[in-house]
Chains A and B, each alone.
Chain A
Amino acid sequence: MAIACSLSLLLWPARRLRSENFIFYFPNQHKSLPVEMMDNAIYLPLIPLLNVAGQVTGLQEKRNSLKVWFGDHQLEFHENKTRIQVNKASVSLTHPVRRSEGQWMVPTGFIPAVLPQITGQPVLYQHGTTRAFIGNIHPVSYSVELQNQPSGVKLLIHFTGKVSIQTASTNGKWIIFLQGVPVAPLEQKIQFQNPYVSRLDFDDQDGRPKLIITPTSNALNFYPQISADGRVLTTALVKPPSPQQPALAQKAPATAAPPSPGATIATLPTKPSTPAPAAAAAPVQSLPVIVLDAGHGGQDSGARSQDGILEKNLVAQIVQKVEGALTATKTYRVILTRNGDADPSFEERTVTANTARPALFLTFHAGEMGARSPVIAVYTYRAPSPPPANDKPLPFIRWDLAQQPETSRSQQLAQDLEQQFAQISGANAPQPMEAPVRQLRSIAAPAVAIEVGTLSPEVKAGAIAQPAFQQQLAEAIVRAVEQFVPGGAKP
């Protein structure tokens, strides 16, 4: 009996209630559902989810299975199975269907896998997030830039589309409500190593997208301004003029007093203050952005070793280590193009990277590389054929030629990486090569592909799957990145 109880406890799926909502955005409204964490995956209640997306028209529940009629569609679920039936066709989910307190739960992978088919609407969902966009919706994203000011800092938020804003302040934080369009942030929270601002969070738990700015001190003034036809939000965080500077203080705008944390406002100051000269200005630095791309994901496993190591998992482990090592320096911001077991398309990964305006981009792969294992190769992009000669310069960068102007800097980055890889004991690090790597083609920044090997069905993965080797690799990458783009300052 005791053994049976212990086994039940062991096999019981890890479950954690999360006080978080999942937001569904529709063209003219939004709806929310509570999420539940099980086995480190986000789950949603099935029937409420289907009723959010449409209307459940029938149910037939048996002991371990459930049939649901959704309009003309029929869905069949089996408890603890990853395969479900949609109109008698089998669909595989990333995590199994569960039952929690009598309620049927599905992982969020259900949203992109099934909803487009049964609702007939386009569905946008990025794995690992708690928002989905159903219907003809084009959410905006944003990137963040810090600019030094003599007595403060300017936080520039570049949106990919037009937004309008409304501000408020509470509990020592400034809140900027983003109105007009749904927002799909690349990063939920951004931390700064800065004497004036410590973090920027995105929150839409109540269905209202907003940015929350946390200053380092309550004594700072806050001047938000929207420009570039609603595409750039500039927020100046500045020290108030000191009594020792009466002449300079007079230069402050003669408009309404700037809002400070603690008081709620609903209007914008008409103009940011004129900054005072550097009296007590601390050196302010913005962090260079490094984009890390773990290749493959989802159904696309990539290469496979004899002992069952999959490329998609191996490169995710390496990226995790590189991210940790870069973040530990506190001098870079790291953005990942894929979270968990998602499989964004080449273009989606490229959009993530280019929107972030990175200092550099690294894509990670593993594959068949002959008998010399472990080997770490670095590739820059080589187009299959020379780009067409343009008589007249174009006023924009062609998407498929975006990497071309970055070629020499990418080659320098590849050299820096190869020099560091050559120092890893026991590893082969050939000279950087050129190859038509699809993922590099449209990256508008220095970009290289790093491939480790050999990952082949004929041999075991060996050292490349070992955490110690991966850590060495991550540290070598950090040294090369520091050499290529010093942390804490824009290149």
Chain B
Amino acid sequence: MTRRNLILALIVIPILVVSGFYLRALVRHMFFENRPRPEDEMRTQLSQQALQSEAGAEQQTVTLYFPNFEAGTLVAEARQLALAANNTDRIRQIVLALIEGSKQGHARGLPASAALRAVFLTSDGTAYLDFPNEVTQNFPVGIESETLAIYSVVESIIANIPSVKRVKFLIQGREVDTLDGHADLTGFYVSSQSTAAHAPP
């Protein structure tokens, strides 16, 4: 190899190596990295809208219900929230607050990884809550835990939004038999004042 070719090789080889690494990173970025799905983006946007609608609104005391597994009941927790003017956004705010969890150390009904796909409120006072499939991931499975989770949502919404009379749970937009194998989701839930799964504050 001549001196000229040697110098040329010493220049070209590093350029080729660097280009190779760059192309590899580019391909990974374009095709393999997890990008937020449109549905996730939509959910985030809706949740942000619900939270932004608080801005400027007056703080109100709302009552949230969390499970007490030892007693098989719900316990009430007062929370200051700037509730939105729109009832649909209010429902979303309350569910998001339940997902956020108790600030007084109570147990969690919905898992922290839960999200809400959509909320609909019909003129007869039925609130439709549409959760994604992932709501059952990291969910505490069982009759008691599912019952308490359902009623924590139902009681929290009905206690704070009087126009809501009953709640219907959907998973991924569809009616399902159960939340996670135990609690019946085929019906419409109304407030329960007598069940042992609920204890008024």
Contacts and interface: CB of A to CB of B under 8 A. Distances in A.
Nearest to B148: A435
Contacts of B70: 370-372
B47 interface: no
A290 B196 CA distance: 27
A438 to B, nearest CB: 4
A436 B181 contact: no
Contacts of B183: 435-438
Given A384-B190, A431-B196, A369 B184 contact: no
Nearest to A379: B143
Given A368-B69, A436-B147, A437-B184, A382 B195 contact: yes
A368 B145 contact: yes
A430 B177 CA distance: 27
A377 B192 CA distance: 20
Interface stretch (A85-93, A201-209, A295-303, A471-479): A295-303
A158 interface: no
Nearest to A438: B184
A281 interface: no
A324 interface: no
A441 interface: yes
Interface string B162-184: 00001000000000011001111
Contacts, number: 107
Interface string A420-464: 000000000011111111100100000001010101100000000
B181 to A, nearest CB: 6
B4 to A, nearest CB: 56
A367 interface: yes
B140 interface: yes
Contacts of A368: 69, 140-142, 144-145
A311 interface: yes
B189 interface: yes
Interface residues of A, number: 39
A98 interface: no
Contacts of A252: none
Interface SS of chain B:
loop
A370 B107 contact: yes
A430 B186 CA distance: 27
A379 B166 CA distance: 23
Contacts of B150: 436
Interface string A333-355: 00000000000001000000000
B72 interface: yes
Interface string A351-388: 00000000000000111111110000101001111100
B142 A436 contact: no
A296 B188 contact: no
A451 B143 contact: yes
Contacts of B186: 400, 438, 441
Contacts of A372: 69-70
Interface of A: 295-296, 300, 302-304, 311, 346, 365-372, 377, 379, 382-386, 400, 430-438, 441, 449, 451, 453, 455-456
Given A302-B141, A372-B69, A382-B197, 15 more contacts: A304-B141, A367-B140, A368-B140, A370-B107, A382-B192, A383-B187, A384-B184, A384-B190, A385-B189, A430-B72, A433-B196, A434-B196, A441-B184, A453-B142, A455-B141
18 contacts: A302-B141, A311-B141, A368-B145, A372-B70, A382-B195, A385-B189, A385-B190, A386-B190, A430-B72, A431-B196, A434-B194, A435-B147, A437-B183, A437-B184, A438-B177, A438-B185, A455-B141, A455-B142
